[in-house]
Structure 1
Amino acid sequence: MGLYDQTVGVLLIGIFFNTFLFGLVTYQFIVYANTKFKDPLWIRAIVWTLCITDTTHSTIAIYNAYDMCVTNYGNPESLLFVSWTVPVLAFATAFAAFITQIFLGHRVLLITKNKYITGVVGITSLAAFVTAIYVTYMAAVVHEIKDFGLLVPSVTAWLALQTTADFILTFILAYALAKSRTGFSKTDTVINRLIRGAVQTGVFASIFALGDMFCFTLLKGTYFYAMFAYPIGRIYTNTLMDTLNARINLRDMMGGTVDLDSQSNANVYHMHGRATFQGQSIHVQKEVITDVNTNPTAVASYSDEDVYSKTAYKKA
């Protein structure tokens, strides 16, 4: 093992992976910009705020690599001190996570109509973000790597709260969407796609957050935590952008119709765009699929308006 494998080496791995993810996120931004979504201003503001945040984060990360490998080449003592980039990168990561969790919390509110669950998610996410701000402050105050032990309690609290919010969001979204299955193959295919997306969001974000936390806590004197810390923000942004851009494929999957073939024994009647199956009304309007009688917001909307906007849910 080389002399700098556990310091410069692992830092570079984290930066390389972050840069790769930034490329994927940039593609997501381009797709969003070139698609005529009629999203409200607050969603567009979130998208372009994250675009600026991710660009800034990735630019500073690449600068950090240049500073280590070029500017301070032959100066290993520089690794003993905390660069100004550390608190900036930490804040950008926490900000991306907070924005994404608030967006998904809004989605939970629309699907479940449960303000208490949404409140728990919001409070947990806000607590994680506030703790991250404190970590950012401490990282700016601490000047030497040997003093990073002072940050262990606050970093642990930050990442534990952030992971808790992810787990709650994942469980609630997956459970609520699973209950929304209608028995119609096209609708259930879309719902299964949303469930898969919700689970992937929680799993990947949690793995990296926990990896960051355990490496930072247990592997002091190394930079193993950086392999997980650098890419976390891009994972959250990619999650949010994939959620928004997925409307294109989901709308194509629905094809503007409801597939009734999967219920061969159903007593089905067609009248003016309304299909009735065993007492449940399914209304198709502007490619919006809504299970009206059981839960008007159970099945997500795929209109060109806001995919999660309450205006997209219309009773038949």
Structure 2
Amino acid sequence: MAGVDLLMFVNIRFGPMLIGVLLNVALYGMLTYYQRYAKVRFYSCAHPSNKLQMLYLFIVASTVVIVQVGIIFQPLIIDYGALKALVFAPKMLPGDSFLIAIVSAPIQMFAAGRIKAITKSYIIPAFVSLLALASGSSAIAMFVTVLQTPKFRDFDKFKTVATMWLVCSAACDILIAGGMTYALLTRKTGFSVTDGHINRIVRRASVCLLISAA
């Protein structure tokens, strides 16, 4: 009976982490596929600053994948069967929230700039920027707190910080999706070909952002 309880405990603790890492690796594989074979090149951006931004995001996203694989590799491979794997959090776990913060915040701020450029309004971009800063700050606070909390049993201490981080990030992505949808739909030209492209962009952008918010 104790063995069954232990197995259930391991499944609850590491099962969601493993699924998340597998999904992230799959998405990263899709990214590299489009980069290599679908003629979607980071260096095809017109402005040099955009090229540097895309290169930065690609490097950090690659680092995120490495760190997340390391997070699940330690308890399930290196420390497999050891009690410390169930007591102490993986050593690379604190870096996850920090890396996500320095990826998501720049993307959200960039989206705020695009919405401002299209709508010529500061209202939605201002809210997006505030939520992006709040989300990024909470993620960095999460990084510091997890770094100081090595044991799983103490993770309840940063529940508030984690909730604020995830809520702000989700709200920011939803607001970006709504803002971009509104901005594009109000720029329809009346030409079926152009409007068809706008509708496709709206659908794809909305789906991607809402998935990231979820």
Q: Does 1:123 align with 2:151?
A: no
What CA distance in whole angstroms lies between the structure 2 residues aligned with 1:11 and 1:115?
A: 38
Unaligned runs of 5+ in 1: 208-316
Q: Per-residue deviation at 1:64?
A: 2.7
Higher helix share: 2
What CA distance in whole angstroms lies between the structure 1 residues aligned with 2:205 and 2:40?
A: 20
Q: Is the 8 A contact 1:87 1:136 kept in 2?
A: yes
Higher strand share: 1
The residue identity in structure 2 corresponding to 1:10 is P
Q: Does 1:39 align with 2:52?
A: no
Q: Does 1:94 align with 2:121?
A: no
What CA distance in whole angstroms lies between the structure 1 residues aligned with 2:114 and 2:50?
A: 12
TM-score normalised by the chain length of structure 2: 0.88
Q: Does 1:160 align with 2:167?
A: yes
Q: Per-residue deviation at 1:120?
A: 1.8
1:184-203 pair list within 5 angstroms: 184-203=191-210
Q: Per-residue deviation at 1:194?
A: 1.6
1:249-288 pair list within 5 angstroms: none
The residue identity in structure 2 corresponding to 1:108 is I
What CA distance in whole angstroms lies between the structure 2 residues aligned with 1:60 and 1:123?
A: 28
What CA distance in whole angstroms lies between the structure 2 residues aligned with 1:63 and 1:83?
A: 8
Identity between Structure 1 and Structure 2 (%): 25
Q: Per-residue deviation at 1:38?
A: 4.6
What CA distance in whole angstroms lies between the structure 2 residues aligned with 1:29 and 1:139?
A: 34
Moved over 4 A (4+): none
1:256-296 deviation per Cα after TM superposition (whole angstroms, max 9, x unaligned): xxxxxxxxxxxxxxxxxxxxxxxxxxxxxxxxxxxxxxxxx
Q: Is the 8 A contact 2:75 2:90 kept in 1?
A: no
1:172 aligned partner: 179
- Structure 1 counterpart of 2:145, from 123, 129, 138: 138
TM-score normalised by the chain length of structure 1: 0.61
1:1-316 pair list within 5 angstroms: 2-3=7-8, 4-30=10-36, 31-33=39-41, 37-207=44-214
Q: Per-residue deviation at 1:80?
A: 1.5
- Of structures 1 and 2, the larger Rg is shown by 1
1:132-184 deviation per Cα after TM superposition (whole angstroms, max 9, x unaligned): 11111001011211111111101111111111111211111111211222221
What CA distance in whole angstroms lies between the structure 1 residues aligned with 2:178 and 2:53?
A: 24
